Structure 1
Amino acid sequence: MDNNVQPTHFRSEGDINTTPARDKWNKSIADQDTQSLLKRDSDVFLHQAMSTPCLDSLAGAEGIYLQDTSGKRYMDFHGNNVHQLGYAHPHVIKKVQEQIAKLPFSPRRFTNEIAVQCAEKLTEICGGELNRVLFAPGGTSAIGMALKLARHITGNYKVVSLWDSFHGASLDAISVGGEACFRQGMGPLMAGVERIPPAVSYRGTFPLHNASSNENGDVHYADYLEYVIEKEGGVGAFIAEAVRNTDIQVPSKAYWKRIREICDKHNVMLIIDDIPNGMGRSGEWFTHQAYDIEPDILCIGKGLGGGLVPIAAMITKDKYNTAEQISMGHYTHEKSPIGCAAALATIEAIENENLIEKAKNDSQLMRDELLRMKEQYPLIGDVRGIGLLWGVELVTDRESKQRAYDEAEAVLYQCLSNGLSFKVSQGNVIQLSPPLIIARQQLKQALAIFEQAIADTCKEYNYL
């Protein structure tokens, strides 16, 4: 394979950092301190896809902004999904500092007040039957615990997941994930995983059913789950994001209602991975709440730590509290006082600042503005989203829906030049995920930067 040609599947998770456009961007950085730090980074860190070479070097982060070594600021609409509260939120910092001074670490065989408080609060905002918690140092670890618990409860080891899904980068997580870029060259993975197509409204496996006018037109994707469960046998779990984060696939309520019915009928545990979208991004505490369903196991992380401390959790039902003789997690930082202090402070900040309701209100502004842009610019093929999670799919032709790879890169780098950072998924889907704390004027400013980049790219590539 030509080393200069990137397989299409490498674009599934994020923008490619080894294209000519990225090379041009890197060479355009005039600040010598930045160039020096990027060189030192490249010399000391193990290179990996989507991380090396780096985009820029950072010296600070506060509120909705990242600040690079030269002093330039970016509005961060990506944040690796930890930035619901932006950066350096004073309430989270205060609570973590207080906890460090009081009890910085709790060995695994001991409990502590802040860990219990945090777990109790999580069960409160989950509501329903989700009232049993295990903490973990990161989201991937929470997924591993969920898969183990499902095997224990059902006695079945097989798992059904979705193509294009991402559930973490460890071997068990990439086994159930649906992105080829993470499995490339890894050899045999965890046995017993079957994948089915995700519910896609714009370009799907079953395009004849993808009529945008039919809000329940994706239920047949759920029916396919039942077909696989019945044909395969021995399935213990179905794992999925309620809303696919990176390229923003938003199923209907009917889809998720049908999924819940199928799992109940066949004694299959429903695992919802809300690691990237939980903590308010959907306009609900957790994304499944927008669909009026309840999973058997919920996995959360990323934003749980307030953009300050890595922490994740698996939350399940009391009736599944039967694994006392099995080590589900056994992590060194299982009840981290610092992590739990950050998580509890994050929940408090979201409540105190009414950010759930704010996300719903800001969502309408984003919807209206992005749909207006779609009407005006032929480069935009589709707009979809929920809460403060929006995807703008760029296409070279609206009839063929051919992905506009080069145009998406052009939009990305122009926006970066003008102080707006975001992620590109599938090579052509612009993901816009602003912090929940963003002021209305800041949101309008960011959308104006984005629209100017779309307009300029349309002109550059001769879109009429």
Structure 2
Amino acid sequence: MTQITTSQQHGSALSEQSLRSEGDTNITPARVAWTNSIADQKTQQMLKEDSQFFLHQAMSTPCLDALVGADGIYIEDAAGKKYMDFHGNNVHQLGYGHPHVVGRIKQQLAELPFSPRRFTNQTAIDCAKKLTDIAGGDLNRVLFAPGGTSVIGMALKLARYVTGNYKVVSLWDSFHGASLDAISVGGEACFREGIGPLMAGVERIPPAVSYRGAFPSNDGSDVHYADYLEYVIEKEGGIGAFIAEGIRNTDVQVPSRAYWKRIREICEKHNVMLIIDDIPNGMGRSGNWFTYQEFGIEPDILCIGKGLGGGVVPIAAMITKDKYNTASHISLGHYTHEKSPVGCAAALATIEVIEQQNLLTKVKSDEAYMRDRLEGMKQKYPLIGDVRGVGLLWGVELVTCRETKERALQQAEQVMYRCLELGMSFKVSQGNVLQLSPPLIIERDDLARAMDMLEQAISEIQASS
């Protein structure tokens, strides 16, 4: 029998804050109380069997609930209760089961369900071409993969090959996937605990955080965070790439346009490839196709995924420039589903819906509404320390005291579970940030109803605190 060391025991060497970094933790008394409150016997049986047959891992075991349906903006549990989904693992830009996406997938399954890697197919070609169209600029070369983590690996390999330098700079608190290479460049301890040596040559710098950053400024500027990148590049040497999300997804950190302009200048000056991870936020969530377009820059490599498959089929893509098409004699990806006709059909259909329904413009309109509603709540409830976001991606940071900015961990959990009771699902990041990312197709009446639920929950928790 394999002996389990102390460091391998559940959460033993991790702080409570580390366990909360990527999402709401599922090992607190609040989760136990929630689970015990579920009266439906079918749900309890499914949760029991899930715990019995799946390998346990952080944040997903034990599960929150058991689902039997997902349609439009709603998920439905085994007891028949529906929740507006403001989480969706970032795949639900079009909600669930969008008829246009499902129809295109069915058509593709009937015509060409699979394409071996040594062959091409028109659907994959059309999808690659369309992605270069919406990315614009010099981003005109594509590789597909089954998921976002795989795309991150391809991007890191390409940057090494092009620059001849293997070192990478990334951000603390970042997430780029859960494979060994992805957690090597990621900045969250909960993915590295007990794993041992990771990929060499990774340097991390603090992210540009406006509310509680490592290097706060009196005027609110964040450009000095970019300057630190140049300092590390010059001191370390041999840096081939800088990788970051355009906008941090989980706790919603939105750097300034000046920050990203400075980052772009530094990378060009030092021949460092800029890799933008837009896997969670691409495909319209910011009101742009991709978040870098919000800041008026262009990366050397763009990584996208999650919502690309319309919330149905897993598919991801790396998009780069023609001048980096220099590694034809090595395999950057070599994935079995590299040119999946079904995945590409789902991606094309997703893009078509966004275009036909003019969702990018809609999201910018929704952005103004969300800002007004959330800022209004902030003025009324001292529990809210900060509100930040863009498009249909928002973070509401709860604090016990606005002066000290102490994280309101217990209250954030209470708000989340109360919203679940009311019929709204979202996740909590860093223990105290309510992360709100609804489907882009959500109607204004439903968005308003969700904000009413959120305000009701915050008002009740504020009153009881």
TM-score greater than 0.5 by the shorter chain:
yes
1:366 to 364, 370, 374: 370
Tell whether 2:341 aligns with 1:332.
no
Render the CA deviation track for 1:68-113: whole Å, top value 9, x for unaligned.
1111000000000000000000000000000000000000000000
Q: Distance in 1 between matches of 2:238 and 2:305?
A: 29
Aligned partner of 2:265 in structure 1 is 261
Render the CA deviation track for 1:106-159: whole Å, top value 9, x for unaligned.
000000000000000000000000000000000000000000000000000000
Contact 1:200 1:210 in 2 (8 A): no
Contact 2:11 2:19 in 1 (8 A): no
Q: Distance in 1 between matches of 2:36 and 2:423?
A: 18
Aligned partner of 1:33 in structure 2 is 42
Kindly report structure 1 stretches of 4+ aligned residues shifted beyond 6 Å.
1-5
Aligned partner of 2:314 in structure 1 is 310
Equivalent positions of 1:205-220 (< 5 A) are: 205-207=214-216, 209=217, 211=219, 214=220, 217-220=221-224
The secondary structure found in structure 2 opposite 1:373 is helix
Task: Supply the RMSD in Å over aligned alpha carbons.
Answer: 1.0
Aligned partner of 1:97 in structure 2 is 106
Shift, 1:7, TM fit: 2.6
Contact 1:81 1:276 in 2 (8 A): yes
Aligned partner of 1:202 in structure 2 is 211
1:422 to 405, 423, 426: 426
Letter in 2 for 1:435: P
The secondary structure found in structure 1 opposite 2:406 is coil
Letter in 2 for 1:422: F
Contact 2:148 2:305 in 1 (8 A): yes
Aligned partner of 1:188 in structure 2 is 197
Tell whether 2:237 aligns with 1:233.
yes
Letter in 2 for 1:253: R
Q: TM-score, normalised by structure 2?
A: 0.97
Shift, 1:229, TM fit: 0.1
Letter in 2 for 1:328: L
Contact 1:137 1:311 in 2 (8 A): yes
Aligned partner of 2:3 in structure 1 is none
Shift, 1:3, TM fit: 6.2
Q: Distance in 2 between matches of 1:299 and 1:115?
A: 17
1:145 to 138, 143, 154: 154
1:158 to 155, 167, 176: 167
Aligned partner of 2:410 in structure 1 is 406
Aligned partner of 1:376 in structure 2 is 380
1:280 to 278, 284, 305: 284
Aligned partner of 1:70 in structure 2 is 79
Q: TM-score, normalised by structure 1?
A: 0.97
The secondary structure found in structure 2 opposite 1:202 is coil
The secondary structure found in structure 2 opposite 1:60 is strand
Render the CA deviation track for 1:234-290: whole Å, top value 9, x for unaligned.
000000001000000000000000000000000000000000000000000000000
Q: Distance in 1 between matches of 2:215 and 2:159?
A: 30
Contact 2:407 2:432 in 1 (8 A): yes
Shift, 1:294, TM fit: 0.1
Render the CA deviation track for 1:47-70: whole Å, top value 9, x for unaligned.
100000000000000000000111
> What is the percent sequence identity of the aligned residues?
74
The secondary structure found in structure 2 opposite 1:23 is helix
1:297 to 301, 326, 330: 301
Q: Which runs of 5+ in 2 are unaligned?
A: 1-5
1:83 to 83, 88, 92: 92
The secondary structure found in structure 2 opposite 1:226 is helix
